[in-house]
Amino acid sequence: MPVQNTLSVILAAGKGTRMRSDLPKPLHQIAGNTLLGHVMQVAISAGHQQLAVVVGPEMDNVREDSLKHSQDTQSYVQTQQAGTADALLAARSALTEHSGDVFVLFADTPLLRSETLNRVSDALEQGANIVVLGFEAEDPTGYGRLLTDAAGELTAIREHNDATEQERQTKLCNSGVMAFRCPDLLALLDQIENNNAKQEYYLTDIVEIARKSSLSSKAISCDEAELLGINDRVQLAGAEHKYQERLREDAMRNGATMIAPETVWLSYDTVIGRDVIIEPNVFMGPKVKIEDNALIRANSHLEGATVGSGSRIGPFARLRPGAQLSSGVHVGNFVEVKNVEMGEGAKANHLAYLGDGSVGEGANIGAGTIFCNYDGFRKHTTTVKKGAFVGSNSALVAPVEIGEGAFVGSGSVVTKNVPADSLMVERAPTTIKEGWAAKFRKLMSRHKR
């Protein structure tokens, strides 16, 4: 862990042309979080106290996204894409004001782990002035190479286009992630030139410049998959796949059961308790918490919801943002819950829509019940008190309250508050006309001739 103030500068100015999208690459998502958001969360988890994001011109939406993850994030604009050193120098004012370690991260590497950044910090603590994170690539073509001497000191980083054939035989590749503990980082950055095939200012040149100043550089490596960069939609899907595998494994190792884990979709912030059982084909969007011993049946969709301990959800249930379920709640097949608090032991087992309101402890919502929460202009709330019973196929027209222990007869349209322990029934009188059907069929048969 960093022992002094650490600044992470996240380079997020890439437009992502190969994404074929009007959305900047850092704002594409995996597991319910932007690529930039993933990298920022990793830096925060690693204990980095200051964050700066370098964006391109007219990328205010990237700047706004960064503030969602840390309100103290500073953003800087790289006016022209002239290389990674140029991008880092766009944050010159942050570097000038900062006196601790500096990390350079990239907004398109969402699989990076905070534990790896901690290893980089440890290498700085052990005496390195510069630490570069690398990986052993099965096919290093196109990657910059990390060149070391016999003592293991990092001597240079050579871009593939500028490397000799001998240097290209090296399989230790540059991820781009770097960290610095230098007396004057800006002085080193200002010495970088653009004498290369692309005529760009490569941050990687800083290793050789630092070496001339008797500063030490070290390379450490991690798994190649952790440093997967994203440049197009195919790589985006590949990163999603790997990240989902990671989330599922973490959930199962922490005590959850997934019957068919490859069919369960989680978000970056999903919280799953012990002895939770998740059946196949379940999707969880952001801000979902499932407490111990809950059962999530097949083909359910959850987002922005809390599921209390011992609750049963689904199959084919939908919990939308604001669904707050206490312990022992049952939400059954084809039930949708949105912005509703359900008390302990409450039930809505079949074919219902519950939107904007509350259902008290032990209350029962019958099949086909609807909370009529929207009048075309505003949302209104429905309150069902403790122990109330709402019969099947009822419409509760908000704002309305069903009192504690009250009964609502099946098929009722409730437009007024129902007092506690009352029975409310609203139905048209039943009319039966014997023989009507036979006469009707006879009449209609004449018209067919």
Is residue 196 predicted with pLDDT exceeding 90? no
Where is 217: in which H helix or E strand? strand 217-221
Among 179, 154, 53, CA closest to 104: 179
Mean pLDDT, to the nearest integer, of 196-210?
Answer: 89
Identify the H or E element spanning 444: helix 436-447
Indicate the pLDDT class of residue 1, thresholds 50, 70 and 90: very low
Q: CA-CA distance, 227 to 338, in Å (whole number)?
A: 38
8 Å CB contact between 180 and 7: no
Tally Cβ neighbours within 10 Å of residue 205.
25
Q: Pull the structure tokens for residue 49.
A: 């106290």
The set of residues, in sequence order, having a beta carbon less than 8 Å from that of 136 and lying 6+ positions away, is 171, 172, 173, 221, 224
Residue at token pair 């770097």: 178
Q: Is the pLDDT of residue 2 over 50?
A: no
Rounded to an integer, what distance in angstroms lies between the CA atom of residue 147 and that of residue 134?
11
pLDDT tens digits along 156-174: 998 888 888 888 888 889 9
Q: Do residues 204 and 159 touch, judged by C-beta distance below 8 A?
A: yes
Token digits for 197? 């095939």
pLDDT in tens, 349-359: 999 999 999 99
Angle at the Cα of 203 from the Cα atoms of 200 and 205, rounded to 5 degrees: 90
Band (pLDDT 50/70/90 cuts) for residue 448 is low
Q: What is the per-residue pLDDT for 3?
A: 45
- Which segment of 26-40, 191-205, 262-276, 307-321 scores lowest on mean pLDDT? 191-205
Q: What is the pLDDT of residues 302-337, one digit of tens each?
A: 999 999 999 999 999 999 999 999 999 999 999 999
Q: Which ranges of 302-361 does DSSP label H, i.e. alpha helix? A: none
Query: pLDDT class for 369, splitting at 50, 70, 90?
Result: very high
Quick one: pLDDT band at residue 446, thresholds 50, 70, 90? confident
pLDDT at 327: 98
* Element at 88 (helix H, strand E): helix 84-89
Mean pLDDT, residues 378-398 taken together: 97
Model confidence at 300: pLDDT above 50: yes
Tokens of 118: 């901690």
Give 132-153 pLDDT, tens digit per residue.
999 988 888 888 899 998 888 8
In this prediction, residue 199 carries a pLDDT of 85
Give catalytic residue positions.
350
pLDDT at 167: 85
> What is residue 165's DSSP assignment?
T
Query: Domain spanning 6-227 has what CATH number?
Result: 3.90.550.10
**Cα–Cα distance for residue pair 408/428, rounded to 1 Å:** 15
Q: State the Cα–Cα distance between residues 406 and 399, nearest whole angstrom.
A: 17
The domain limits of the chain are 6-227, 233-424
The CATH class that applies to domain 233-424 reads: mainly beta
Q: Are 160 and 143 in contact (CB under 8 A)?
A: yes
Q: What is the pLDDT of residues 116-132, one digit of tens each?
A: 999 999 999 999 999 99
Give the β-pairing of 6-11 and 50-55: parallel
Name the average pLDDT for the chain: 94
Q: What is the pLDDT of residues 232-248, one digit of tens each?
A: 999 999 999 999 999 99
Percent of the chain with pLDDT over 90: 83
Per-residue pLDDT tens digits for 20-50? 999 999 999 999 999 999 999 999 999 999 9
Angle (CA) 188-194-198 rounded to 5° is 140
Average pLDDT over residues 85-113: 95
Indicate the residue type of 1.
M
| Percentage above 70 pLDDT, the chain | 99
